[in-house]
Amino acid sequence: MTAKKYIELEQTYGAHNYHPLPVVISKAKGVWVWDVDGKKYMDMLSSYSAINQGHLHPRIVKAAKEQMERVSLTSRAFSNDRMGPFLKKLCEISGMEMALPMNTGAEAVETAIKLARRWGHQNKGIPENEGEIVVCENNFHGRTTTIISFSSDQDSKKGFGPFTPGFITIPYNNVAAFEKAITPNTIGILVEPIQGEAGINVPSPGYLKELRRICTEKGVLLILDEIQTGFARTGKMFAFEHEGIKPDVLCVGKALGGGLYPVSAALSSREHFSVFTPGSHGSTFGGNPLACAIADAALDVLIDENIAERSATMGAYFVKKLRAMNCSEIKEIRFKGLLIGVEFKLGPGETVRPICQKLMESGVLAKDTHEKTIRFAPPLTITEEEADWALERIRKVFEGLGKRIPSPPAAAQCTCPCQAMR
């Protein structure tokens, strides 16, 4: 079938809750994807950081195949031989004591919210139904009814009420606002170390450290959502490591599944997890043997291949090249590791989607976020040669926006190993 026909089928039989770029992907390997017509693109989104290890990493695929020949699902009615070793590794890597495995990032956040609320009622003496969790403006933590209740994105809320109470919203990157918001009923603060969906908003140095200090002094929980920033995306295994702190509760997901399978978890201390008892929370698929085998291999790849160090090095390289481009329409470049946001100067009602379309036509798949920012977040396995391939095409698009200079000559034919996938 043609790409047009695939898109028509999707639009006819699928709910219109996304507005994807008009490309139909049928094959992938490493940092590369191919559409149904055989055209090659570089993936600069990584499924919102779910593919940090690259598409179809052979070690992760091997682990999945081997496990699928043994047992894939047992439910939590029984124990399996993969969950314990996986959780031990995850806790050791994160520095946390215990983990509760789930499937999606939103489930990990919901788990953290439930843990925090019950802990607040049982351990802080906050009356039931009166506990408050502080959140930040422009947050993105998922799409469940509870989570959108504290979103400031009206598109994700309109028509979905009534909303869940118990959340206080403050400006992001504002320590004074957090201190002011704390009351006797405050349970904790739920925050992203970097706001990804809001446009790659990187807070001021010391922001997380100050939140940690205040939470410790006031006896409230620091809950970090590292679903997008975790697992080497920012140049450290976790973004909180940049400031030498540790959260009370940690939410992880996306890259934990190695791009093969949805795997998430909420992590915390043994004390905090003591509020959960059999029957109080659970998931049929959470911690299933296939998920654990895949996630175990995904963690090994991150460690054995020094992916965090590569992310830091290649992020700095990528941004240096972006800043050297002759494009006056760029307002600001924000980044940490290979989580990069390029914000443009746009007029009222304008978005960067047309720029993303031009990038797609040139072979680079990137996506707009918060209307005025393009996110560049390739798989962390990207090489300098592969980055140059993409950067030359990005430069041509960016520098052509104002039509101030002649278009550069077409880039030379790629000679990287991806040719074997043609």
Give percent of the chain above pLDDT 70: 95
Q: Are residues 147 and 222 in the same domain?
A: yes
From 304, 324, 350, the end of a domain falls on 304
Q: Are residues 148 and 102 in the same domain?
A: yes
> Model confidence over 144-165: pLDDT tens digits?
999 999 999 998 999 999 999 9
Q: Which of these is catalytic: 35, 178, 248, 254?
A: 254
Average pLDDT over residues 185-213: 98
Question: Could you list the residue range(s) of the whole structural domain that residue 136 is in?
Answer: 58-304
| pLDDT range class, residue 358, cuts 50, 70, 90 | very high
Q: What is the CATH number of the domain that holds 356?
A: 3.90.1150.10
| pLDDT range class, residue 261, cuts 50, 70, 90 | very high
**Residue 344 annotated among the catalytic residues of the structure:** no
| pLDDT range class, residue 409, cuts 50, 70, 90 | very low
> Model confidence over 361-390: pLDDT tens digits?
999 999 999 899 999 999 999 999 999 999
Mean of per-residue pLDDT scores for the chain: 94
**Whole-number pLDDT of residue 328:** 94
Q: Which of these is catalytic: 35, 43, 140, 231?
A: 140
> Model confidence over 228-245: pLDDT tens digits?
999 999 999 999 999 999
Q: Are residues 37 and 86 in the same domain?
A: no
> Model confidence over 42-81: pLDDT tens digits?
999 999 999 999 999 999 999 999 999 999 999 999 999 9
Q: Are residues 199 and 133 in the same domain?
A: yes
Q: Are residues 93 and 163 in the same domain?
A: yes
Q: Are residues 108 and 163 in the same domain?
A: yes
3-state secondary structure the chain: CCHHHHHHHHHHHCCCCCCCCCCCEEEEEECEEEECCCCEEEECCHHHHCCCCCECCHHHHHHHHHHHCCCCCCCCCCCCCCHHHHHHHHHHHHCCCEEEEECCHHHHHHHHHHHHHHHHHHHCCCCCCCCEEEEECCCCCCCCHHHHHCCCCHHHCCCCCCCCCCEEEECCCCHHHHHHHCCCCEEEEEECCCECCCCCECCCCCHHHHHHHHHHHHCCEEEEECCCCCCCCCCCCCHHHHHCCCCCEEEECHHHHCCCCCCEEEEECHHHHCCCCCCCCCCCCCCCHHHHHHHHHHHHHHHHCCHHHHHHHHHHHHHHHHHCCCCCCEEEEEEECCEEEEEECCCCCCCCHHHHHHHHHHCEECEEECCCEEEECCCCCCCHHHHHHHHHHHHHHHHCCCCCCCCCCCCCCCCCHHHHHC
Q: Are residues 338 and 312 in the same domain?
A: yes
Number of domains forming the structure of the chain: 2
Q: Are residues 344 and 271 in the same domain?
A: no
Q: What is the CATH number of the domain that holds 298?
A: 3.40.640.10
**Residue 78 annotated among the catalytic residues of the structure:** no
From 235, 270, 304, the end of a domain falls on 304
Q: Are residues 101 and 192 in the same domain?
A: yes
Q: Are residues 215 and 310 in the same domain?
A: no
Q: Are residues 81 and 25 in the same domain?
A: no
**Residue 81 annotated among the catalytic residues of the structure:** no
From 263, 288, 304, the end of a domain falls on 304
pTM of the model: 0.94
Q: Are residues 96 and 183 in the same domain?
A: yes
Q: Which of these is catalytic: 225, 248, 296, 368?
A: 225
Give percent of the chain above pLDDT 90: 94
